[in-house]
Amino acid sequence: MAEQGSIPLIWRRYPQRYRLEGNKCENCGTYFFPPRLVCPNCRRRGSLTKHVFSGKGVVESYTVVHVPPDEMAGQEPYVLALVRLEEGPVVTAVVTDVDPEDVKIGTRVRLAFRRISEQGESGLVCYGYKFAPEKGF
Amino acid sequence: MRRVAVIGAGMTRFGERWEEGMRELAVEAGVRALESAGVRGSQIQALYVGNMSGGRFIGQEHIGALAADYLGLNPIPSTRIEAACASGGLAFRQAYLSIAGGEFDLVVAGGIEKMTDVLTGQATTTLGGAADQEWETFFGATFPSIYALMARRHMHEYGTTEEQLAMVAVKNHDNGLKNPYAQFRKKITVEDVLNSSPVATPLKLLDCSPITDGAAAVVLASEEMARKITDDPVWINASAQASDTLALHSRSSFTSIPATRLAAEKAYQKAGIKPKDVDVAEVHDCFTIAEIMAVEDLGFVPKGEGGKAYEEGMFELGSDISVNTSGGLKACGHPVGATGIKQVAEVFWQLRGEAGERQIPDAEIGLTHNVGGSGATVVVHVLSRYPDLRQR
Amino acid sequence: MLVAGIVGYGAYVPRYRIKVEEIARVWNKDPEAIKKGLNLLEKSVPGLDEDSVTIAVEASRNALSRAGISPEKIGAVFVGSESPPYAVKPSATIVAEAIGSVPVMMAADLEFACKAGTQAVLNCIGLVDSGMIDYGLGVGSDTSQGRPGDALEYSASAGGAAFIIGKKDALAEVEEFYSYTTDTPDFWRKEGQEYPRHGARFTGRPAYFKHVLSASKGVMEKGGYSPSDFDYAVFHQPNGKFPLLAAKQLGIPKEKVLPGLLSPVIGNTYSGATLLGLAAVLDRAGPGDLILATSYGSGAGSDAMVIRVTDRIEEKRDKAPKVEEYVSRKKHVTYGEYVKLRRKLKV
């Protein structure tokens, strides 16, 4: 977890954490989230362009976290999942608005915008992506 | 490349070492290693120290200098090596390379971590730094939860059960019971593991390695130097290392550690052996699922059959391949930077017949497997009684 | 007649609910008296990872789905709330960043008790109508708090709605507006105070009713409408009773108010309340339907709008979740869980 008060570290990643901005290699067609600075497949032959991910995905694996990092104390138990986005990349994120027993491998989810953590009582609120079950919407 | 041997090993008791700081632990392990090798400090030409996070655990960086200073080894070159939980294994590899390449003839490789000076939450946060800080930890991932994601997927794909995971911990506690250096010398049952409190499902408290203070050191020598000092060297037949993505989610597999497979393949090739030739292996069981993946990725069992192997008692002490005779990270303890060196020390003792109560009969070939983070760094070593395994 | 219209709208209501009975149980009150007296059954409660900004973003994303425009085209974002996560630092910038409208745009937070949401929309209408911007996003979003044990605790809830205003392809046209504002101290909270205070019965006739009725009558007179012209009427809903009383006094039958009356089942979402009611009506209204929407904000003022639904409603309606889907998605919590979720415990 980021040290308390580390403002630039949080601010720098807003485009990715707020709206799933990643990229795509026009040379090999692979999508990347988080965005890559060099295509690991094509290296210097690659050509990376911005791609905003749809936020639709499927749970590839999950765990119910009972012992959270200090920054998320009080939110446990929460579901942490590997979510495969429909464009291909997998992200690690919390599945929110759900009872833990309702998350399974294969559960379809959609993007949600949530508070992730807080840098202490008086510090910055760190927002970012979580996912919520698609069922019902 | 020159041949390199291990000629001495020493370690501290692992555990909550309230009375000792990092310096005391470093000296305790270092002196024991030198005594074991029968060499004086003045003969040592270089020091490599594995340490993950002195800065976060005790506010101390510059661990290389600290270790040389307190071991009385100044002014020889001393270098700290960091690769999260693989720091020790990598320090050993750097020491090996420095001799194999011809720069030195007698080198100490050590590993150290002082973890209990901070509260558990802070230790957990620090260990989280081995994962991808910006894309895993920030979003609520803890180390147990990352391995739990692998465990859940492994259970889904191969039918691995929570009982099988528990059996890994039970076996390692059985071994730890016989190791005077181990943090936990206490027998546990499958039920104990299953009934322990959930950490990140399906992993429970007794599926996890503990927070530990400890240090370990080994003495490495060139062939020429080794033969001068001892009649009983343990040879390093292969040293291999591989890297993968920092974050689990970017990997090609969630049910194995691809870098383990790559490093192991290379190590077997260099040593000229097959997985089944290994008699004793110290593998990276930071969580029970990690050992199941390790025995699969190291080729001891086919992929997906790791869980079942534990029902059959395949890796118990004295079986064809004895795995984690020290008790592993689970029972012996896991002072992160020291673990990779402790693994070498344990294999050294087993191959020399100095492993006491936990000694396995006729151990000739040993393997160490040290993982950094969730598999972004893996280092594998093959050690044996033979300078060249192709001519054994 | 204004040129600007509603090109997209979106709603969001958190998943958690607490029943009136559960709150009354803790404070030894008679739940039946509250349910009957205020026409309240349960209210929404935000999750631990939600606040007025996350609610605003979710509603805005839904509005964008219905508008079908690229977020860079939005020239202004106004977020109305009386429960912003920061006392100093705008919420509108977070919303704009999250939906991808930054950086060539204007943004500001509005605060006017429960009226800030409609004011945010009116600001957008003015800017679009004047030609200063092509599209504007107005949001009303709150996670409001009532002092434990206070009457407000039965109603203060969480939710929000977002409206995108533009000239092209409107799903509803804003035909007329009328605002009515005075200085009326019926409800306030001073800096550093945790919970608001209110004037009890003073919040009724001289405050809510005076302003809601004046604005509603004003817009009808200004545009030449009579109560019977409206197919639907939405009023600010601090509870389930006031909007029905206001409608009665205006001569608008109850049936036209019920589709937009959400407070009985989700409570008072403050800045979100009138806009959420309007969103619920748009979820079911047909082309040509005429809607009266009148907000109220303590302190005090009302904005009344007359809205005519166009043919485009049919193609846009299903592009985002409907209010009813959010209302029926629910998990009840105990008072203990509610206290934790609302961070009323100091740890």
Give the span between the Cα atoms of B342 and B335, in whole angstroms: 10
Class of domain B4-118+211-229: alpha beta
Which one from B154, B173, B284, B334 is the annotated catalytic residue? B334
Residue C335 resides in a domain: yes
Measured between beta carbons, which residues in chain A are less than 8 angstroms from residue B287? none
Query: pLDDT of C96-110, one tens digit each?
Result: 999 999 999 999 999
Give the span between the Cα atoms of C183 and C162, in whole angstroms: 27
Give the span between the Cα atoms of B22 and B112, in whole angstroms: 7
Measured between beta carbons, which residues in chain A are less than 8 angstroms from residue C50? 114-115
- Which residue in A2, A70, A105 is closest to B138 by CB distance? A2
Residue A4 has pLDDT above 90, yes or no: no
Measured between beta carbons, which residues in chain B are less than 8 angstroms from residue A128? 138-139
pLDDT at A5: 57
Is residue C3 very low, low, confident or very high in pLDDT (cuts 50, 70, 90)? confident
Is residue A120 very low, low, confident or very high in pLDDT (cuts 50, 70, 90)? confident
Asked if B149's CB is within 8 angstroms of A63's CB, the reply is: yes
Residue keyed to tokens 């004037």: C199
Which one from C58, C82, C153, C176 is the annotated catalytic residue? C82
- Whether the upstream peptide bond of residue A77 has omega within 30° of 0, thus cis, is yes
Which one from C22, C50, C58, C114 is the annotated catalytic residue? C114
Residue B145 has pLDDT above 90, yes or no: yes
Beta strand pairing call for C187-188 and C197-198: antiparallel
- The angle formed by the CA atoms of residues A60, C51 and C108, to the nearest 5 degrees, is 120
Say whether C333 sits in a helix, a strand or coil. coil
Contact between residue C136 and residue C123 where contact means Cβ atoms under 8 Å apart: yes
Q: How many Cα atoms sit within 13 Å of B136 on the Cβ side?
A: 26
Contact between residue B91 and residue B33 where contact means Cβ atoms under 8 Å apart: no
Contact between residue B340 and residue B111 where contact means Cβ atoms under 8 Å apart: yes
Contact between residue A127 and residue C54 where contact means Cβ atoms under 8 Å apart: yes
Give the span between the Cα atoms of C164 and C5, in whole angstroms: 8
- What ipTM was predicted for this assembly? 0.95
Residue C134 resides in a domain: yes
Give the span between the Cα atoms of C131 and B176, in whole angstroms: 77
Is residue C1 very low, low, confident or very high in pLDDT (cuts 50, 70, 90)? low
State whether residue B128 sits within 8 Å of chain A by CB.
yes
Residue keyed to tokens 């060099």: A38
Query: pLDDT of C196-220, one tens digit each?
Result: 999 989 999 999 999 999 999 999 9
B208 has catalytic annotation: no
Give the span between the Cα atoms of B161 and B20, in whole angstroms: 40
The average pLDDT across B224-243 equals: 98
Measured between beta carbons, which residues in chain A are less than 8 angstroms from residue B152? 61-63, 105
* Environment class of B357 (CB within 10 Å of its CB; exposed 0-12, middle 13-18, buried 19+): exposed
Which is nearest to C305 in space by CA: C212, C217, C176? C176
Residue keyed to tokens 């957990």: B124
pLDDT at B392: 81
Residue C129 has pLDDT above 50, yes or no: yes
> Residues of chain C with pLDDT > 70: what percent?
99
* Number of Cβ within a 10 Å radius of residue A88: 13
Domain ranges across chain B: 4-118+211-229, 131-210+237-385
- The angle formed by the CA atoms of residues A42, B251 and A7, to the nearest 5 degrees, is 90
Say whether C266 sits in a helix, a strand or coil. helix
Interface test with A, best of B133, B135, B138 (most A CBs within 10 A): B138
* Number of Cβ within a 10 Å radius of residue C272: 37
State whether residue A61 sits within 8 Å of chain B by CB.
yes
Which domain, by its residues, includes C277?
172-313
Residue C75 has pLDDT above 90, yes or no: yes
The average pLDDT across B243-264 equals: 97
Which one from B85, B208, B286, B332 is the annotated catalytic residue? B85
Which is nearest to C244 in space by CA: C14, C24, C36, C4? C36
C221 has catalytic annotation: no
- Which helix (H) or strand (E) element contains residue C108? strand C106-110
Measured between beta carbons, which residues in chain C are less than 8 angstroms from residue A137? 321, 325
Give the span between the Cα atoms of C82 and C71, in whole angstroms: 25
**Measured CA distances, C75 to B180, B195, C106, C127, C258 (Å):** 71, 58, 6, 9, 34
Query: pLDDT of C306-335, one tens digit each?
Result: 999 999 999 999 999 999 999 999 999 999
Regarding whether C152 and C60 lie in a shared domain, the answer is: yes
Is residue B14 very low, low, confident or very high in pLDDT (cuts 50, 70, 90)? very high
- Which helix (H) or strand (E) element contains residue B349? helix B336-352
Which parts of B214-287 fold into alpha helices (H)? 223-229, 258-271
**Measured CA distances, B342 to A48, B258, B326, C323 (Å):** 44, 24, 9, 61
The average pLDDT across C165-180 equals: 97
Averaged pLDDT score across all residues of chain B: 97
Q: Longest C-alpha distance within chain A, in Å?
A: 47
Question: Cβ contacts of residue C123 below 8 Å, gap of 6+?
Answer: C76, C78, C110, C136, C138
Query: pLDDT of A52-81, one tens digit each?
Result: 999 999 999 999 999 998 888 889 999 999
Chain centroid offset of residue C216 CA: 17
| Count of structural domains, chain C | 2
Give the span between the Cα atoms of C61 and C71, in whole angstroms: 9
State whether residue B145 sits within 8 Å of chain A by CB.
yes
Contacting subunits of A (3+ beta carbon pairs below 8 A): B, C
Q: How far is C321 from chain A (nearest CA, A)?
A: 6
Say whether B355 sits in a helix, a strand or coil. coil
Give the span between the Cα atoms of B207 and A87, in whole angstroms: 35
pTM (predicted TM-score): 0.96
Residue type for C229, please?
D
Residue C347 resides in a domain: no
Closest residue, chain C, to A117 (C-alpha): C49
> Residues of chain A with pLDDT > 70: what percent?
95
Asked if A68's CB is within 8 angstroms of B199's CB, the reply is: no
- Which residue in B138, B153, B202 is closest to A60 by CB distance? B153
The average pLDDT across C160-179 equals: 97
Contact between residue C310 and residue C5 where contact means Cβ atoms under 8 Å apart: yes
Regarding whether C284 and C194 lie in a shared domain, the answer is: yes
pLDDT at A1: 43
State whether residue B125 sits within 8 Å of chain A by CB.
yes
Regarding whether C130 and C30 lie in a shared domain, the answer is: yes
Residue A2 has pLDDT above 90, yes or no: no
Residue type for A8, please?
P
Kindly tell me the number of DSSP H helices and DSSP E strands found in chain B. 14, 12
Residue C343 has pLDDT above 90, yes or no: no
The average pLDDT across B234-248 equals: 98
DSSP-assigned letter for residue A46: -
Beta strand pairing call for B203-204 and B198-200: antiparallel
Give yes or no on whether B4-118+211-229 and B131-210+237-385 have one common fold.
Answer: yes
Q: How many Cα atoms sit within 13 Å of C62 on the Cβ side?
A: 29
C161-185 burial, b at 16+ Cβ within 10 Å, e below that, comes to bbbbbbeeebbbbbbbbbbbbeebe
Give the span between the Cα atoms of A66 and B14, in whole angstroms: 27
Q: How many Cα atoms sit within 13 Å of B277 on the Cβ side?
A: 16
Residue B194 has pLDDT above 60, yes or no: yes
pLDDT at B374: 97
Query: pLDDT of B338-377, one tens digit each?
Result: 999 999 999 999 999 999 999 999 999 999 999 999 999 9
Residue C347 has pLDDT above 70, yes or no: no
Contact between residue C33 and residue C141 where contact means Cβ atoms under 8 Å apart: no
Contact between residue C176 and residue C1 where contact means Cβ atoms under 8 Å apart: yes
The average pLDDT across C149-175 equals: 96
Give the span between the Cα atoms of C290 and B11, in whole angstroms: 83
Asked if C325's CB is within 8 angstroms of A125's CB, the reply is: no
**Measured CA distances, A82 to B51, B150, C35 (Å):** 30, 10, 44
Q: Dig out the tokens for B70 from the structure.
A: 């307190």
Residue keyed to tokens 């050690």: B383
Regarding whether C203 and C117 lie in a shared domain, the answer is: no
Averaged pLDDT score across all residues of chain C: 96
Asked if A130's CB is within 8 angstroms of C49's CB, the reply is: yes
Closest residue, chain A, to C102 (C-alpha): A15
Closest residue, chain A, to B122 (C-alpha): A70
Contact between residue A72 and residue A91 where contact means Cβ atoms under 8 Å apart: no
Give the span between the Cα atoms of C274 and C282, in whole angstroms: 12
Residue type for A40, please?
P
Closest residue, chain B, to A93 (C-alpha): B139
The average pLDDT across B233-237 equals: 98
Which is nearest to B305 in space by CA: B164, B144, B146? B164
The yes or no reply on domain B131-210+237-385 and CATH 3.40.47.10 is: yes
Regarding whether C146 and C32 lie in a shared domain, the answer is: yes
Q: What CATH number does domain A55-137 carry, 3.30.1490, 2.40.50, 1.10.1240, 1.10.760?
A: 2.40.50
